[in-house]
Amino acid sequence: MALKQATTRIEDDEYELFRATTRALGTTPADALRMFIYAFNEHRGFPYDVRTSKPTLEAFETEEDATRFATELALGVADAAG
């Protein structure tokens, strides 16, 4: 099977921490990146939760909108529980 090289650039301090951490785990930076790529492909995306730092919240315009939302959500959960 043909091999491809994957490269990236990161700040020096990030690389040194990465290198030290992989060494402490008994592996190498190259092997850690290889493991990440395999896990990424196996999961068809990131092998861990990816989210924004803070959820975006929007207030309901009216109490009626909030009640409708809560009711539909509760009914959906009840239907899913079967």
Domain boundaries, the chain: 10-49
What value, to the nearest 5°, has the Cα angle with vertex 68 and ends 54 and 61? 60
Q: Is the pLDDT of residue 49 over 90?
A: no
Q: Is the pLDDT of residue 58 over 90?
A: no
Are the beta carbons of 46 and 38 closer than 8 angstroms? no
Two structure tokens written together for 69: 């939302």
Nearest CA-CA partner of 30 in 41, 42, 38: 38
Residues 5-29, mean pLDDT to the nearest whole number: 95
Are the beta carbons of 22 and 28 closer than 8 angstroms? yes
What's the whole-number average pLDDT of the chain?
Answer: 91
